[in-house]
Structure 1
Amino acid sequence: MLSILAQNCQCGGIRGELRFNQQLFSTPFPFDHFANSLYNANMKKWNITSQDPGEFTLVADARSTHTDYVNDHIWEIRYRHVEPPALTIQTTYGLRALSFRIFPRFLEGETVVVDPANFDIPLVIHNFGPNFVFLSYSPLPGIMVEAYYWVPDSHVMGGRMIITNNKLQGRELRFELAAILSPDENGHRMVPHEIEKINVLTGKAHNLHPVLFITGGAEEGTGPYPSLASSLELAAGMSREFTWAVAALEDEVDSFQLARATAKRAWDGEMARAELLAESQIIIQTGDPDWDTAFALSQKTALGLLVSPTAQLPHASFVVNRLPHQGFSSQGTGQDYQLNWSGQTPLQTDYLSGLIAVTTPEFAQGLLMNFFAFQRECGFVPKKIGLAGQKSDLLAMPVLGNMAWRIYQITQSEDFLREVFPRLRAFVQGWLSPEQDNDQDGIPEWTRGRQSGFEEHPDSISNPNWALSPDVSMMEEPALCALLVNELKILIRMAGILKNKAALPELEAMKAKMEKAIHESWDEETAIYYRWDKYTHFSPAGEVLATGTGPGIILAPTQFEHPVRLLIQIEADNLSHSNFNIFIHGSETTDKHWVEQISSAQFSWHMSTGKALSLRVYSSLEYVDVYKVEGDVKVTVHVADFRAEDISAFLPLWSGTSSPKNAKKLIEETLTNPKRFWRPYGLLAALASEHPTVHMPWNAMVGRGLLAYGDQDTAAKLVSKLMNAIIKNLKESGSFYTCYDAETGQGLQERNTVDGLAPLELFLETLGVRILSPRKFAFEGKNPFPWPVTIKYRGVTIVRRKRRTTITFPDGQTVAITTPKPRVVSLTSMSVS
């Protein structure tokens, strides 16, 4: 079925600084009725108010300029929770200043308006991208303001304002642009200054000299804050335009020249380019405008995390979050950056890739290739890589193949597959090296809990039960096996495409071994997969055997049904550097008595708690001898716990390894059980955690696991829970967060990290839609959400109803799908397959 899609749009431009608006009939007049309004450009129209979700950090966009990793000025628009109350754009220049705020003031007669709460027509945001925001408001009755904020590169920020008199009589008012700099002890506040006979404001923050420049012959403001001002005489329907910029370089004159050059750039063209990039996003229109905004803001934030290549990384990379207090390296190299700017993990990279791969596949591909830039001949790829050359000595979490397959599905480039296949194969083989598979049984182990990318792994010190958990080097787990199964499945698909039959036997054998281990870890009674002791292959529950004080003997006579590994926990101040020994007396299945010595060097410490794991396993225990400790210390003897339950146990769903029977039981009795993992705002990270948290990347993986077993409805419910948490925080604090409280939805840890963005890829897949390219789309199943969903991407419009999907291409051709069976629609051949 073919049809013609007619689209009508009203376009307008702005030229000069003084214009007359002939479409003037009433006051107040709807904003988008102004024919010469910036808002009537060919752009997506948003109407985001102060009551809606909002996050408007502005940064240099790596897609259109070269960002400066060690000197990156990051701005943030705030219109609530700011002092003084004002429509403020602010930064700290990477903590080189306590704060630097710029905001407008409007004066008419005795009336002064600064606080957005006092605007005659409240602020509305109409368009945005990583580096710009376009908004409007009416500070005074009949006075309409259109404001455009733009960050063209890492060292300058500018704005454009159009002030229109919408009354039927002339108006006299005064506009001031105030700038409040709170410097460190070596700087000074903004003050009026004249450079080349032009009035500007200048200041000093550490090594920077910010200069604020405004067009139109501004004069020094008379208000309580340092400002540049202009007096306006506006006849009925007349507009006045200003452009302004603030640059901060190490030389004041250089700052002035950059600010002036920015203010005098061809703003129509610059805005058109920025808006064109914004239009390349996937526009989602659901039955809930808050969802639409959250998906758009997530894409904006994700793209804003991208940072240009450096001498140490060949391709653009990203930082975990990008906030005004970040972006300055005092060493000038980036080596002194804190965690979120010193590199990213494979899991974070995979999650970001899911947000940007469709719209910018070249950047997603570069993120993957950065990892391979550090690959060794043995296949080792570091767990974490950074723009200053930072790298981890741990092997990367096995999700690189997942990233590669996503990119291939979008680009369909066999050249890309030929390049990455041998690298991925060597990487997976590296997981079976003696360093990762100590017992060489074909099932590897994590070296450290943090290697898993799971913050609440039992071996992680952030887990409150860390002191009761066995060392990861002694355990094997279904999550790691599932990750590798997924990588191996992808390698097998790649080998098929590349006709590399020789690689298949090894890959199939490795996959079968991992799958067998996963199946054997299933516990029918509790309906979950458990970690297991890599030598005994049992999964004993943790148990306290004895508690006492040392030095001395702690009696703990116990017989065990299956051999167990013992964990010794010590609680004492100032003992972590002492030289002491623990002697365990017991026997294994042979009934031969032995004594195992655990030295102080074998203990891991966190604050005043230390733990050590026995290297031997025991079928019976007699007593524990605590030797050479100073003073009384509390000693507890445990059976090491291999039955900690957390979200990673659902990865066999994600990899498609669970049997249909086990998958059904896992979903019904464990995953969707409100007493276990199914909480108001998503899937709980770990049952034993003191703080019930939800982690978006892990929830997204599990959600895709639900889809792998055909459970669209449960996946849709999970997406709804996650979106509720995100929207709650965007409304309350204007931020995404690293993770969210599973019970209250409250954002936790750091603001605007990649880990906390909306799960766009999961939403689309739950909807049954995959965008393979701007001209090719895949559909499967039904729309499980309670309303129709419209997706707009590069001129294509998809309307997904409960049982019917309509795809309209840019040339007007339309295709309808009414079956839940998998279908691929391609504009190139206008075929449905």
Structure 2
Amino acid sequence: MSDTRRAETRRLEMRRWQIKPDDPHALQLAADARLMPTDYTDDQTWELILGGGDTSALQLQTRYGGRAGLASIVPMWWIDHRPVFQYQAYAAPPIVTAFAPGWIEVQGKITPRLSFKADFIAFDSQSIGCRFVVKNALPSPIELRLDVVGFAAAQSQEIKPQIAHKLTGGEGLTFGKLHDIVPLIVLEKGRAELSGSNPKLSITVKISANASTTLRWIHVGLDDIHKAFTHAEKLLTPNWTRIVAKIQQAAQAVPQIETGDVALDATIAFGIQQLLQSMLRPTMTLPYGSFVGTRQPGRGWSARGDGTDHPRAWSGQHPTLAYLTALGLASIDPVSAQGIVRNYLAVQHNDGFVDGRPGLAGQKVGYLCMPLLARMTWGIFQYTENDTLLKQTARPLWKFLSRWMQADNDKDGDGVYEWQDEQQTGYPFFPMFGAGLSYAQNADIRLTEAPDLAAYLLSEVVSLKAIASYLQNKTDEQRAQSLIQQLKHGLDSLWFDDRYGYRDFATHARAQRVVVVENGRGDEEQLISTTLTPPNRLIVRVIGGVDHAPNVSVIIDGKDSNGQPQQETLNASAFKWSTGYGSASTQKVFASISRIRTVGLSRVYRIHAHSVDSTPLDINAILPLWAVEIDHDKARTLVDLLTQPKHFWLKNGVSMVSTRDTSFEQMKTGEGGGVWMYWVTLIGEGLIEHGYMGHATELIKRVLRLQTEVLRERKAFYEFYHTELPLGLGERGHTAGVIPLHLLLRVLGVRVISPRKVWTGGAFEWGTAVTITQHGVTIRRAPDGTRVAFPSGYTVDLPAEAPMQEIIDPTPKE
């Protein structure tokens, strides 16, 4: 065999696993949009359950996108009149030996000499199938029966399966009408028969000595049973070996990462699988494929049929998840990664406005997108080196930046801009704001200048400068440099003592909370003599009424900063109401308060009022690390603050809020707001940019250990995680909670551009050797150096101190 052929054979090999029920895993299975058709309005995802003890060793489960409580398909073997389906009944219980997006391979032994391999394949959004290849290692023939049994329940009622008959002959199993579909299971060459009162599908085969046989079944969930039979027949026609080979070939683009810890490796691998499975194909309203947050068995069905009733995680490209997804996909599926950026720009208005959450059903949220698109675009380019995206998006990205820099986002014209909606931040739970949240102070974010927005805008301009430099556009490059200086000045103005912080947009002052009224009766006038130094705004909270929002007005009298009398009325429309209370911020700044009175409240209501506290310490104080363009001394101070366990540096990663904040244990999203992979990524990137690779490595390791334990116990990733306990929070199976692949690759110092080109080198702080294989290239990074092996057989060795560099295979192409 030639060296080239030997390398090609090596390239096609997939990692072999031995994943048992107690091992960390996430076996959700959905059609891979790169290879298979998908349907945004009716996507039926499945989950493979590895049982233990006296439970079924293999169960394939779904909820049909939310139509059913649960539906399961269980294979049951019969040999020598003995059933084999429980974990303990197998000679070698089933284990997962390989997986890729849309495919899971399982192996086991029914008896010591009768083994099987199963391929579970998601063919499209409504179809899934299983192929068993059973091998008889005995010197004599053996008779074996396979039963395929179905169970389902909806609205706490069991749904008994029924026998379905094909018009042209043939049988299947169905659960009858489930809302608008009729699920169908077909066993190739099998027959339906009754087992007690429940039907099942069954086939008996005789396997010759030292031979094997193939058994296949398919499940289809369509709106008509006859369509389902036709589609099942179509899917059973081709050779599935070619389909599996195609899936495995596509998996060569997926980075295979070996750290020496199999459990951590599995967590990484399942995270990448879930990331790829989050993608769906384009619709009529978005020109490119997009992602959903929870491609899980209970999500994916639109009862309206158009997708507009999908829940939050399915309702548009949230920018924080877009950043994680696009950069995670960039080296694997560049078209999809670039499409995420292009989808935002596809809905851009003439004035540069880009909606914050364009969706596959035409969803829009109406507020300006987080300024993240140029950074995302430049990041994608680092993995693809395809400058078509840069050339085609440079002008729209400049228009988007210009829209952010309009006067409506900078009311005082000082070059430090204001958010216009808490949702724009990606995290509407910060204790300073948190509209409708009882633990938060409910300040109006529109009246605040915040360091996170200043950092985002600076990062955008730095990225636009890099794009202009690459494209050799001197005019744009000079324009960007001028804006960088302006934005750096604005960000510097938000530096207070040893951190970045919030300030009032008009007064530019930071102030601590001053209580003005506490538990005042709603029907009584409050006579007050309170001075606010520095002058500040008030937050008024009305408590009572449970679900009833009263038609209230609150009149505040006092003096302005010039000592002149001043009055402001907060009408009912100024209040944001939640269960049992409403809050509003004054638009005017008061130097003193003399009286607060209400109109429209009875004595059952209570009034609280305090000045805005702009001193809370949260992750936004540190986020400018990520913006790159801050000086070394400030960066070092921020890293010192970040890595203090008494503030942010906790067991499972970085918290959203300092542990010293009074709301740390009260937050709706868990202690300290939890650990979120998006902010872990931004902080990790900031650490790397400023030379703190050791801290970035420790951060990603903490996250990996956490996710591994959650996968071990809960068999799924979660939207975010507890700061101290091995506990997933938020939605189960949310893509926002998978390992941030982009950050991991930056920590490992590897970018595989193609089978012939790699970037690697720089600081390596993992401590032990790590091997990354992608596109047929293998890179081994270790404390003593780096080795790169290309598919051609060409290798390069780098010393430990080698900087990040480009390595190209000089071997002539065949």
Do they fold alike, i.e. is TM over 0.5? yes
Asked whether the 8 Å contact 1:176–1:221 carries over to 2, the reply is no
What is the aligned counterpart of 1:436 among 384, 409, 432? 409
The 5 Å alignment of 1:553-564 reads 553-564=525-536
Q: How far does residue 385 in structure 1 lie from its aligned partner after superposition?
A: 0.8
Asked whether the 8 Å contact 1:523–1:529 carries over to 2, the reply is yes
Partner of 2:448: 475
2:603 corresponds to 1:639: no
Return closer, same or farther for 1:658/1:256 CA change in 2, 3 Å cut-off: same
The 5 Å alignment of 1:576-615 reads 577-615=549-587
Asked whether the 8 Å contact 1:736–1:747 carries over to 2, the reply is yes
CA distance in 2, matches of 1:820, 1:740: 36
Partner of 1:572: 544
Residue-by-residue CA offset, 1:270-325 (whole Å, 9 max, x unaligned): 11101111222000000211121111111111111111111111111111111112
Asked whether the 8 Å contact 2:53–2:87 carries over to 1, the reply is no
What is the aligned counterpart of 1:387 among 350, 356, 360? 360
CA distance in 1, matches of 2:798, 2:811: 13
SS in 2 for 1:615: coil
Asked whether the 8 Å contact 2:528–2:595 carries over to 1, the reply is yes
The 5 Å alignment of 1:346-361 reads 346-361=319-334
CA distance in 1, matches of 2:545, 2:714: 40
2:313 corresponds to 1:308: no
CA distance in 2, matches of 1:350, 1:456: 20
Return closer, same or farther for 1:503/1:652 CA change in 2, 3 Å cut-off: same
SS in 1 for 2:69: strand
Moved more, 214-223 or 114-123: 214-223
Moved more, 732-741 or 602-611: 602-611
Q: How far does residue 421 in structure 1 lie from its aligned partner after superposition?
A: 0.8
2:105 corresponds to 1:112: no
Moved more, 580-589 or 46-55: 580-589
Asked whether the 8 Å contact 1:470–1:640 carries over to 2, the reply is yes
Partner of 2:390: 417
What is the aligned counterpart of 2:433 among 423, 448, 459? 459
What is the aligned counterpart of 2:231 among 258, 262, 265? 258
2:681 corresponds to 1:710: no
The 5 Å alignment of 1:383-782 reads 383-457=356-430, 458-461=432-435, 464-466=438-440, 468-524=441-497, 527-547=498-518, 548-573=520-545, 577-668=549-640, 670-687=641-658, 688-689=663-664, 690=666, 691-692=670-671, 693-782=674-763
Moved more, 256-265 or 358-367: 256-265
Partner of 1:128: 99
Amino acid at match of 1:226: P
Return closer, same or farther for 1:830/1:674 CA change in 2, 3 Å cut-off: farther
Q: How far does residue 474 in structure 1 lie from its aligned partner after superposition?
A: 0.4
Residue-by-residue CA offset, 1:546-598 (whole Å, 9 max, x unaligned): 31223223244233332222211221216964333322232233222322222
Amino acid at match of 1:599: N
Q: How far does residue 111 in structure 1 lie from its aligned partner after superposition?
A: 2.7
Q: TM-score, with normalisation over the residues of structure 1? A: 0.91
Amino acid at match of 1:411: T
Q: TM-score, with normalisation over the residues of structure 2? A: 0.93
Return closer, same or farther for 1:575/1:733 CA change in 2, 3 Å cut-off: closer
Aligned-pair RMSD on alpha carbons? 2.6
Residue-by-residue CA offset, 1:460-479 (whole Å, 9 max, x unaligned): 3475533x132011001110
Would you say how many aligned residue pairs link Structure 1 and Structure 2? 797
Partner of 2:153: 182
What is the aligned counterpart of 2:298 among 318, 325, 334? 325
Return closer, same or farther for 1:480/1:82 CA change in 2, 3 Å cut-off: farther
SS in 2 for 1:790: strand
Residue-by-residue CA offset, 1:583-634 (whole Å, 9 max, x unaligned): 2232233222322222232122121121121222222333323344222422
Residue-by-residue CA offset, 1:44-92 (whole Å, 9 max, x unaligned): 3222222221111111221112211112222111123999634111222
Return closer, same or farther for 1:507/1:332 CA change in 2, 3 Å cut-off: same
Amino acid at match of 2:94: L
CA distance in 1, matches of 2:198, 2:7: 46
Asked whether the 8 Å contact 1:187–1:203 carries over to 2, the reply is no
Unaligned runs of 5+ in 1: 12-39
Moved more, 734-743 or 239-248: 239-248
SS in 2 for 1:327: coil
SS in 2 for 1:331: coil
2:76 corresponds to 1:95: no
What is the aligned counterpart of 1:275 among 248, 251, 254? 248
Return closer, same or farther for 1:464/1:799 CA change in 2, 3 Å cut-off: farther
Amino acid at match of 2:74: F
2:131 corresponds to 1:160: yes
Asked whether the 8 Å contact 2:558–2:566 carries over to 1, the reply is yes
CA distance in 2, matches of 1:504, 1:231: 72
Moved more, 255-264 or 282-291: 255-264
CA distance in 2, matches of 1:641, 1:430: 30
Report the identity percentage: 28
What is the aligned counterpart of 2:794 among 813, 818, 827? 813
SS in 2 for 1:145: strand
Moved more, 403-412 or 296-305: 403-412
Asked whether the 8 Å contact 2:79–2:143 carries over to 1, the reply is yes
Moved more, 741-750 or 575-584: 575-584
CA distance in 2, matches of 1:156, 1:389: 26
Asked whether the 8 Å contact 1:351–1:755 carries over to 2, the reply is yes
What is the aligned counterpart of 1:71 among 25, 34, 42? 42
Return closer, same or farther for 1:50/1:624 CA change in 2, 3 Å cut-off: same
CA distance in 2, matches of 1:730, 1:301: 13
Asked whether the 8 Å contact 1:581–1:627 carries over to 2, the reply is yes
Asked whether the 8 Å contact 2:434–2:442 carries over to 1, the reply is no
CA distance in 2, matches of 1:82, 1:761: 39
Asked whether the 8 Å contact 2:126–2:221 carries over to 1, the reply is yes
